[in-house]
Amino acid sequence: MLAIPPGLDPDLLRSFVLIAEGGSFTRAAQVVGRTQSAVSMQIRRLEETLGQPLLLRGPKGVEPTSHGLWLLERARRLLALHDEIHATFRQPEVAGAVRLGSPDDYAIRWLPGILARFAASHPAVQVDVVCAPSNELVERLGEGELDLTLLSEGNEPPGARVRWLWRGPLLWVGAPEAVQRRPLPLALASASCSWRQAAIAALDAANLPWRMAYTAASLSGSLAVALAGLAVTVAMPSPLPEGLRCLGAEDGLPPLPDFAIGLMRGPGSAVAEALAAHIEEGFRLGPVAEGRERRVA
């Protein structure tokens, strides 16, 4: 008689994906609402079930083993299918339109998977996406032009209710030749951008001279300038174009603070609530990355 292999608990896989993506048990525990010890126990149970070590502590934090990398790609797909099935059978049918705001920096990295899963489970909903800087999106949400919006920490109005979806490091990014110049040439967004403010504050605290060489409306614009070797910029942990790398203390640059991505909602509607739930779940799953892409951090 053939032995039936034990099933894989989606909660264990979800915690594993969060740790493998973020490199931290602590941040994963915050996202799933458990203690760090409880998440550690989940990973031990998963490793015992599969019979292989999946995560190891390395110089850059917690990193997946070779077996962990193999599992990570498949766990993402399995969780996406699990959540799609759950949403299709448990959520009521909703129809209509919803207006979503997102900074350009997050739209390409996070929204494709989220919107694809949402369309599969809510085919009668039309999603209109508006890309703009966080401060502009928050203003448009307040004026009723958006139903919900993603935003960077530091742009939320005082007392606003924000659902924080992701927290991680802000990183210096550039070509090796640019970081040697003084004053340090920077390619950042407008003065209201919280990333720009954090970068300047870190350089000033380290007494490192800088100049604003380029102002770009989006991260893609800043990366294009950095790729030309003309300036240094900042970014979240993400795949980088060939020719750019993460810069740090070994390059003479000061550390940058962590930052968070949040979700703000206007007056509730069934459509907006459904999309908000998919966005929150999408951030718990993490962005889908192709194996050929090179990650920062």
| Block mean pLDDT (10 aa), the chain, length 297 | 62 89 83 86 92 85 89 87 72 78 86 88 89 92 94 88 89 91 92 89 96 87 91 87 90 93 87 90 67 32
> Are 10-88 and 171-256 equal in CATH topology?
no
pLDDT score for 5: 53
Three-class DSSP category at 6: coil
Instruction: Quote the pLDDT of residue 290.
Output: 34
Q: What is the pTM of this model?
A: 0.65
- Which CATH superfamily, name and number, covers 93-165+261-285? Periplasmic binding protein-like II (3.40.190.10)
CB atoms near residue 134 (< 10 Å) = 28
Q: What is the reported pLDDT for 3?
A: 46
Between CA 279 and CA 93 the distance in angstroms is: 18
Indicate the Cα dihedral angle 168, 171, 173, 177, nearest 10°: -160
The domain limits of the chain are: 10-88, 93-165+261-285, 171-256
- The confidence score (pLDDT) of residue 96 equals 85
10-88 belongs to CATH 1.10.10.10: yes
User: How many other CB atoms sit within 10 Å of the CB of residue 108?
Assistant: 15
Please name the CATH architecture into which domain 171-256 falls.
3-Layer(aba) Sandwich (3.40)
